[in-house]
Amino acid sequence: MSQKISFIKMHGLGNDFVVLDRITQYFPLNNRLLKKIGNRNLGIGCDQILLIDPPIQAEHDFNYRIFNANGKEVEQCGNGARCFGRYIYEKGLSEKKILEVGCLSGPIQINISNPNHISAKIGSPSPPPLKINHSKSTNLKRWVWDVIKFQ
């Protein structure tokens, strides 16, 4: 038996997303479905799939999950968070101007007070650990991070 799932396609600064709302509809989620949705040739196609769920923690308004097109869950996406906020605004799912949202990387804030300029506070990235060859310390690698801060 097949089930129809409503979705919307959004984009933010070059990233395209399929947004799935499990507040107004429920459907089981599995890796096979995620890969099918993300496939640009045989599915809808996108960079990432954004899932809007009811909150897991009482202090959050929603829960936000992010999946790459290959079905793997990731911790965060700033452009996706802004699209998430716009979807909440457009669908009238909250009257709040600042949303407290739970996600894999930890809680984030999404400001939807101006629908033409939605911003997200998602924290700072954690760089991968350095691999240092202790026997030869002459060729150390240095990681440089450009951090984009959403306000």
Specify which residues 19 forms β-bridges with: 8, 50
Torsion angle in degrees (nearest 10) through CA of 28, 32, 35, 40: -100
Residue 135 lies in a domain: no
Has residue 132 got a pLDDT over 80?
A: no
Q: What is the pTM of this model?
A: 0.79
pLDDT tens-digit series, residues 44-86: 999 999 999 999 999 999 999 999 999 999 999 999 999 999 9
What residue numbers bound the domain in which 70 lies? 7-121
Residue 99 lies in a domain: yes
What is the rounded CA–CA span in Å between residue 86 and residue 80? Answer: 10
Q: How many domains does the chain contain in total? A: 1
Tell me the CA distances in angstroms from 107 to 40, 97, 110, 116, 126, one per residue in order.
31, 16, 10, 23, 15
Residue 27 lies in a domain: yes
Residue 133 lies in a domain: no
Residue 148: pLDDT band (50, 70, 90) is very low
CB of 100 within 8 A of CB of 112? no
Residue 30 lies in a domain: yes
pLDDT tens-digit series, residues 1-14: 578 899 999 998 88
Residue 23 lies in a domain: yes
Interval 118-136 mean pLDDT: 69
Closest CA to 48 of 22, 24, 94, 12: 12
Has residue 139 got a pLDDT over 50?
A: no
Residue 136 lies in a domain: no
Residue 41 lies in a domain: yes
pLDDT tens-digit series, residues 11-41: 988 899 999 999 999 999 999 999 999 999 9
Closest CA to 6 of 28, 33, 31, 24: 24
The CATH number of the domain where 95 resides is what? 3.10.310.10
pLDDT tens-digit series, residues 83-120: 999 999 999 999 999 999 999 999 999 999 998 999 99
